[in-house]
């Protein structure tokens, strides 16, 4: 009986650390509710496209292999050199947030930081995936079936 309880508790613990993978439309609805449609001149489709190509909509996406030694965190792949702090590298920490907060299922803090990033002079060009896959492209397919 005790071993069943321990196994059950461990199962709950590990389940809590699984990534949330948003669907395209689920993310679009969340971003719209958080005021991202048209934020700083960027359509909702731009945000969804960027998230798809940066993280494949995965809240736990992590890239620790940037050429400059920095790392990227979460659904928007927010970089620790400029935007968040990870306690192992110097950071401007412009979003005033620990990078680990971008690796959970609550993306409200990710969205707040993305809003800060896009206010920078580079705008969405701060995201390489957006430049390569979304900028100046027809993005209508990103919201076509979402009934927003």
Identify the pLDDT of residue 90. 86
Active-site residue, 37 included? no
Q: Compute the distance between CA of residue 73 and CA of residue 86 in angstroms, rounded to an integer.
A: 10
pTM for the whole thing? Answer: 0.86
Q: Please tell me which residue in 18, 54, 109, 110 is annotated as part of the active site.
A: 54
Task: Give domain limits for the chain.
Answer: 20-142
Q: Compute the distance between CA of residue 50 and CA of residue 132 in angstroms, rounded to an integer.
A: 10
Tokens 């990078």: give the residue. 99
- Tens-digit pLDDT profile for residues 111-128: 999 999 999 999 999 999
Q: Over the chain, what is the mean pLDDT?
A: 89
The answer to whether 101 and 109 are in contact (CB under 8 A) is yes
Active-site residue, 72 included? yes
- Tens-digit pLDDT profile for residues 71-99: 999 999 999 999 999 988 888 999 999 99
The answer to whether 62 and 72 are in contact (CB under 8 A) is yes
Identify the pLDDT of residue 100. 96
Q: Please tell me which residue in 34, 72, 104, 120 is annotated as part of the active site.
A: 72
Identify the pLDDT of residue 123. 97
Identify the pLDDT of residue 144. 95
Q: What is the dihedral of CA 21, 26, 30, 31, to 10 degrees?
A: 90
What proportion of the chain, given as a percentage, has pLDDT over 70? 88
The answer to whether 148 and 29 are in contact (CB under 8 A) is yes
**Domain over 20-142 is classified CATH 2.30.110.10:** no
């Amino acid at each position: 009986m005790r071993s069943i309880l321990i196994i059950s508790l461990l199962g709950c613990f590990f389940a809590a650390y699984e990534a949330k993978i948003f669907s395209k439309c689920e993310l679009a609805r969340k971003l719209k509710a958080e005021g991202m449609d048209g934020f700083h001149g960027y359509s909702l489709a731009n945000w969804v496209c960027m998230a798809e190509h940066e993280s494949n909509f995965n809240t736990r996406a992590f890239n620790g292999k940037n050429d400059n030694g920095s790392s990227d965190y979460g659904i928007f792949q927010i970089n620790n050199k400029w935007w968040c702090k990870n306690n192992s590298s110097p950071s401007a920490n412009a979003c005033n947030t620990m990078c680990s907060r971008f690796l959970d299922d609550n993306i409200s803090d990710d969205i707040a930081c993305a809003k800060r990033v896009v206010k920078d002079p580079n705008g969405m060009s701060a995201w390489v995936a957006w430049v390569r896959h979304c900028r100046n492209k027809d993005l209508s397919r990103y919201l076509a079936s979402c009934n927003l």
